Chain A
Amino acid sequence: MSTPQIRVAFVDDEPRTLRAFRWEFGEHFHIKTFLAGSELLAALAAGEQFDVLISDQRMPGMTGDEVLKEVSERYPPIRRLVMTAYADVGPLQTCVNEAGIDGYLEKPWDPDEVRDFIVRAHGRLLQARSRELRRIAAGNDRWSAIQTSRISGVAQLCKALGFDSTVKNTFYQTLELSTFFRPFDWSDLLLIDSSSEQELILDFLSSIESLMLLGSEFKAPCQRVLVYWWMLLKECPEGQGSSFFKQCHANGTISLSFDAGAPFGDSILDPCGDRDPKTIRRNALLLLVIQELQALGGSLLLVPDNARFKGDLLMRIESGRAI
């Protein structure tokens, strides 16, 4: 059996054991040995890469379970095995529950068993890599499908309400920008129940209708913009959004600037965004603000502002005429 491509790190505080391990398995695997867990961690921090880690349990300084746990947290793809001559139940439980080991090897080792465990652990590594790639691909497909469904739902909704297609397009662009910088976990996408997509759009419609009824109390579009805008800021999570709010009148225009990350961090078009009533309401208010601005000849502009923090956006509203 010759599998030199498998990179194995072996940690043991006994130099003779390290030599014996290299001698025994060096021709089968690419072996690198370390006298202490701290040496291994330093090598990993310096960029060395391993597929499988085998650690002795009883060592001065960091014990085996501590090394394995640290590696599982900081370098999770590396598969982990513990090797010990002692029956220390407590550390073994830590190895299983907190370090996610693939196997427990005894000293003195059985060479065939060690080789078998390394190959099996490497097989799990390859499976995990393949699974991760499939997960990302599946997440991409899911993202695309849900996004398409939601965009189509919002388009139908705008049509039903008689909104101009520019409103719909500005809404997409705004929400795309607001979610562009936000990292997400592909796992979240796979857990979304696609059967409730239509329900989300109906909730969105219902929220818009109730807000339009409220806005109908105000006859002038400029009043409605400000009312919807004020409500939108009130809907922001406490302490956010309004803290950056600035208002400026000049040359017959009104310019409203604020931190857009808070109100639009969760968007109705973002499959990973929240779908609670408040988020739906914020999105409904955004659509209405855009709609009223359109009537005023105003514009909505989102500017990524990475100087403050990643994903933060600066929004500016300018109406094209005096209000």
Chain B
Amino acid sequence: MIHCISGQPDVIGRHLAGDDIIFHSYDQPLPPFPIGAILILHEPPIAWLRNPVHIQPSTQRILLVENPSAGAIRLAVNQFGVVRISDLASLSKAVKELFRDSALMAAQDRVEGPAI
């Protein structure tokens, strides 16, 4: 399952055509994500990155930015545990790369019980 926080859902939808995406907003609280979900942070405001919200450890995060700054990368990695930085052109590839890990994590949790 792909979740995305974005102000431009239509742009994301075009680049991930065929995938089911649940969109969220930077000014609304986030719901709990299912185990193994992928969360895309699309052009997050720096102020938002400075105040991390709790996200389940099993959620794989992608920072989607066209021209990232070192400061944004630092916050995204240190505060949000982002595991991929991507632009729109390579988003589909980044999502595919994370899908297998997510599927595995979900399968493990079915067998072992919830993740840490």
Contacts and interface: CB of A to CB of B under 8 A. Distances in A.
Interface of A: 86-89, 92-93, 96-97, 100-101, 103-104, 106, 117, 127, 131, 134-135, 138, 141-142, 187, 190-191
A190 B68 contact: no
A209 to B, nearest CB: 33
Interface string B82-116: 11111000000010000000011001100110001
Contact of B103 (A88, A117, A191): A191
B116 A127 contact: yes
Given A89-B70, A135-B108, 9 more contacts: A88-B70, A89-B73, A93-B68, A96-B73, A97-B94, A101-B77, A134-B108, A138-B112, A191-B107
A33 B6 CA distance: 43
Contacts, number: 57
Given A96-B77, A134-B112, A191 B104 contact: yes
Given A92-B70, A138-B112, A190-B111, A103 B78 contact: yes
B44 to A, nearest CB: 15
The 10 tightest CB contacts between A and B, nearest first, are A87-B70, A190-B107, A138-B111, A104-B74, A93-B85, A92-B73, A104-B77, A138-B112, A191-B107, A96-B85
Contacts of B70: 86-89, 92
A308 B94 CA distance: 40
A135 B94 CA distance: 25
A93 B73 contact: yes
A121 to B, nearest CB: 11
Interface residues of B, number: 21
A104 B73 contact: yes
12 contacts: A86-B70, A87-B71, A92-B85, A96-B84, A97-B86, A101-B77, A104-B77, A106-B74, A127-B116, A131-B116, A141-B111, A190-B104
Q: Dominant SS at the B interface?
A: helix
A265 B12 CA distance: 44
A138 B77 contact: no
A87 B70 CA distance: 5
A206 to B, nearest CB: 28
B51 interface: no
A127 B57 CA distance: 11
B69 interface: yes
A199 B53 CA distance: 45
Nearest to A138: B111
Contacts of A134: 108, 112
Among A89, A101, A106, A127, the one with the most B-chain Cβ atoms within 10 Å of its Cβ is A89
A134 B114 CA distance: 12
A97 B112 contact: no
B84 to A, nearest CB: 6
Nearest to B104: A187
A89 B77 contact: no
Contacts of A86: 70
Contacts of A103: 77-78
B66 to A, nearest CB: 12
A101 to B, nearest CB: 7
A126 B84 CA distance: 23
Among A100, A141, A142, A190, the one with the most B-chain Cβ atoms within 10 Å of its Cβ is A190
Contacts of B116: 127, 131
Nearest to A103: B78
B112 A87 contact: no
Contacts of B69: 87, 89
Contacts of B108: 131, 134-135, 138, 190
A91 to B, nearest CB: 10
A275 to B, nearest CB: 17
A93 B65 CA distance: 11
Nearest to A101: B77
Contacts of A88: 70
Nearest to B78: A103
A89 B68 contact: yes
A100 B97 CA distance: 13
